[in-house]
Amino acid sequence: MKTRLLTCTLVTTALATATVLAFGQDKGFPNRQVTLVVPIAAGGGGDGVARAIAEGLSKEIGFPVIVENKPGGNGVLAANIVAKSPPDAHTVLLGFSGVVQNAALRKDIPNVLPLLQPVGQMVSSGFSFAVSPSLNVANLQDLIKSVKASNAIIDYGTNGVGSTQHIDGQLFGKQAGIRMEHVPFKGGEVESLSAVMSGTIQAAFGSPGVFKTYQDTGKVKILAVTGAKRSPALPHVPTFAESGYANLDIVGWIGAFVSKATPDAEVARLSTALQRALLNPRVKERIAFIGFNVDFTGTDDFKRQIDSEMSRWAILGKDVKLD
């Protein structure tokens, strides 16, 4: 038995060493610490995903991987840091799907996509829509009926102007015939959830896993999730589409980007390392707990996806008010 365990240990160690050597046999990527730049504050679901990816990537490449939170400017601050970094794939933006919506819909902030090279999509997830228990509603239909009867306005929190959650709220309000007033929070979903619980706002959009924690303690009530299918983290919560509201099949994603001038060979090596990192069982478990799905797509497919979403948002944007 001891001989067998020793043999397995030696084989595992040899494989791990071979992986590191395969990446580090020249001066290309990776050859030192990698920094993942995240455009939101620490503590939310997206931040948790970034830290799970950092753990897996570090084990994969054999170098430290750190997370730097750089909220501000609706993602522009973080994107510019990466765009101005050396083009060697060691400084990586974990950008959110809102970067595409900003490029397609907003003229008041810079379009950062031309400054970046897509590497691949990492994860995806629908968003949960939660309200204060003080509203005393059991589902979307109850909420809409109550709001219309009192001619009320629902103030809802999101990660920021132009974010996927912001647009989700506007699309829902338009289809339901109610007024949804957007309230952006620099601190993201953690801050917006706190505002719901304190009564400052009535509702918020955010990560299913994070919101579930608060629903389990009775602090919020989740009424629906976006996306084409229910969230694994919230299997008993219907989608907006199930409740009769189309166009809310939108999911958010987190993707990797590097400086535009990064050579294709370095981009390919980073993409491969990230894909392997996402196969790590512990990484997958951490990401699933937060309510995201590992949903990797390579560089070429990710580029096509961004182009497709740009076209879709140009159409959907006619139904939303981004201010």
Residue 30 preceded by cis peptide, ω within 30: yes
Residues of the chain with CATH 3.40.190.10: 128-225
Residue 249 has pLDDT above 90, yes or no: no
Percentage above 90 pLDDT, the chain = 69
Q: What is the pTM of this model?
A: 0.83
CATH of domain 128-225: 3.40.190.10
Residues of the chain with CATH 3.40.190.150: 32-124+252-319
Q: Model confidence over 67-111: pLDDT tens digits?
A: 999 998 888 999 999 999 999 999 999 999 989 988 988 888 899
92 beta partners = 36
Say if residues 225 and 231 touch (Cβ distance below 8 Å): yes
| Domain at 32-124+252-319, CATH class | alpha beta
* Orientation angle between helical segments 208-216 and 281-290, nearest 10 degrees: 60
Pairing of strands 179-184, 153-158: parallel
Per-residue pLDDT band for 238 (boundaries 50, 70, 90) equals: very high
The pLDDT, as a whole number, for residue 26 is 53
Closest CA to 254 of 312, 222, 294, 308: 294
Among 45-49, 153-157, 317-321, the least confident range:
317-321
DSSP state letter for 239: B
Percentage above 70 pLDDT, the chain = 91
The pLDDT, as a whole number, for residue 9 is 42
CA distance 73 to 78: 8
Q: Model confidence over 124-150: pLDDT tens digits?
A: 999 999 999 999 999 999 999 999 999
Residue 17 has pLDDT above 70, yes or no: no
Q: Model confidence over 257-312: pLDDT tens digits?
A: 999 999 999 999 999 999 999 999 999 999 999 889 999 999 999 999 999 999 98
CA distance 245 to 250: 12
221 dihedral zone (left: phi>0; alpha: psi -120 to 50; beta): beta
